Amino acid sequence: MKKTIEDVNVQGKKVLVRVDFNVPMDKETGTKITDENRILGALPTIKYLVDHKAAVILCSHMGKPHNVFNDTLKLNKKEKAKIDALPAQEQEAATAAALEKAKKDVKKLSLAPVAARLSELLGQEVIMAKDVIGPDAQAKAAALQPGQVMVLENLRFHAEEEKNDPAFAKALAGYAELYVNDAFGTAHRAHASTAGVADYLPAVSGYLIEKELKFMGGALENPQRPFVAILGGAKVSSKIGVITNLIDKVDALVIGGGMAYTFAKAQGGSVGDSLLEEDKIELSREIMEKAQAKGVKFLLPIDTVIADDFSNDANSKVVPTGEIPAGWQGMDIGPETQKLFAETIKGAKTVVWNGPMGVFEFPNFAKGTIAVAEALAQADCISIVGGGDSAAAVTQLGFADKISHISTGGGASLEFLEGKTLPGVAALNDK
């Protein structure tokens, strides 16, 4: 078990908190936040620290400002290649224009608008530093009083952040007496602010990471049974790690989405023009054999909605999975499969779901994904939805409050379900 903010004394202490303020911004202005859920998610931890009279120094990354590091403007490789391909006499002007644009784009990745919104949400002043480890941040952090909140500028304005540079981590740690990590979305990365900083400070989790560990860790270590995993999405290859780890733990493995056709092919079925990973057919067969040997129920779609074109308005019909004709492709699980999967969810005590059941971006092929989300919302079980597409689907459908836990990290939750150690979690102190 990892220590949380409630296991340590924070009163009167300077606390460095790694949050996930990587919120989507309006592309044009770069000042309007288009989805503030991640700021809302960080509030319980921030409020706890403020209420307990800590001086709170928040840090986060925002976007990918890879063309400006340490105030030195550099063009990224793609941009540079474009300019190199121009006639020699045009290159100088093109470089200047590209640098000017890069400067503007990078300004759009400032955390200042987030600090302003946070101030409204907290109902108190939030101090914004102009830099990360520069003189402005240092002076503001030194002057910060208990109960006050400040935000450092975008961590990724420094290349050292993602390189987990020890001097950069030490400089961040120098602001504080305690480190709190509450950014699960970057916990699978060993960066200076997610891992390195814990070499210099006592390190505990905030409420968001605590909840991720409680639900996902609980399901993996000691699930209430029957334990069912539902996996979907485009490719077998991106979920192999999860399947291999979960097959030793679950009572039933349910497969939907584009990855189902490689399994259907492995069973000898015809999949027409559906998504197929030829080089994973053999592996899919082995997985099914392993499931059988272990007594793990392995459920593939029994019927499939197919289309004659990859578009929302394509002609469509329902056929048994494994009988998809040439010229047609699987787009969603069929109605019989919806019922089968819903019944399986109903009988479960723990369900982990990751990946859509079909091309849910097209409303005509979203029914299977909606049916699974609905069944999960109605089920009397511990329901855990991995980040990414399935989390977005559940939230958009308005089922979020009926799910026990929706992970805040796409890549991180996948790696967690693969059984990997997340550097941002490993760095925290044990109870």
Segment interacting with ligand AMP (CB under 6 A) among 83-91, 100-108, 232-240, 243-251: 232-240
Minimum distance between the CB of residue 128 and ligand AMP, rounded to whole angstroms? 35
Whose CA is closest to 176, among 194, 196, 202, 151? 202
**Cβ distance to ligand AMP smaller for residue 65 or 355:** 355
Nearer to ligand AMP, 233 or 334 (CB): 233
Among residues 202 and 411, whose Cβ is nearest to ligand AMP?
411
| Per-residue DSSP letter, 381 | S
Say whether 411 is catalytic: yes
d(CA 413, CA 62): 20
**With respect to ligand AMP, which residue has the nearer C-beta, 50 or 331?**
331
* Residue of 356, 387, 409, 423 that binds ligand AMP (CB under 6 A): 356
| Residues 111, 128 contacting (CB under 8 angstroms) | yes
Binding flag, residue 342, ligand AMP (CB under 6 A): no
Strand order in the sheet with 303-307: 316-320, 303-307, 329-333
Task: Check residue 113 for interaction with ligand AMP (CB under 6 A).
Answer: no
What is the token pair recorded at 348?
Answer: 């479960």
Which residue do the tokens 């997340």 mark? Answer: 422
Structure tokens at 320: 């048994």
Which of 65, 196, 233, 301 lies at the binding interface for ligand AMP (CB under 6 A)? 233
Q: Is 295 exposed, middle or buried (0-12, 13-18, 19+ CB in 10 A)?
A: exposed
Asked if 427 is part of the footprint of ligand AMP (rule: CB under 6 A), the reply reads no
Candidates 65, 269, 358, 387: give the one binding ligand AMP (CB under 6 A): 358
Known active-site residue 387: no
User: Contacts for 93-101 with beta carbons within 8 Å, 24 or more apart?
Assistant: 99/73, 99/75
Which amino acid makes up residue 398? G
Q: From the list 389, 399, 403, 407, which residue makes contact with ligand AMP (rule: CB under 6 A)?
A: 389
Laid out side by side, the sheet with 14-18 consists of 126-128, 149-151, 55-59, 14-18, 178-181, 203-205
- d(Cα 82, Cα 146) in Å, to the nearest integer? 51
- Residue of 361, 398, 421, 426 that binds ligand AMP (CB under 6 A): 361
Q: Are strands 252-255 and 72-73 parallel, antiparallel or unpaired?
A: unpaired
Quote the least distance from Cβ 271 to ligand AMP, whole Å. 10
Q: What is the dihedral of CA 157, 163, 168, 169, to 10 degrees?
A: 120
According to CB under 6 A, which residues from 249 to 268 bind ligand AMP?
257-258
Specify the residue, 134 or 241, whose C-beta has the smaller distance to ligand AMP. Answer: 241
Amino acid at position 118, single letter: L
Please identify, using beta-carbon distances, which residue of 272 and 358 lies nearer to ligand AMP: 358
Please say if 196 is a catalytic residue.
no
- 163 noted as active-site residue: no
* Coil vs helix vs strand at 187: coil
Check 388, 409, 410, 424 and give the catalytic one: 388
Binding mask 300-339 for ligand AMP (x = CB under 6 A): ------------------------------xx--------
Catalytically active residues, by annotation: 38, 235, 388, 411
Query: Binding residues for ligand AMP, per CB under 6 A?
Result: 233-235, 238, 257-258, 275, 330-331, 355-356, 358-359, 361, 388-389
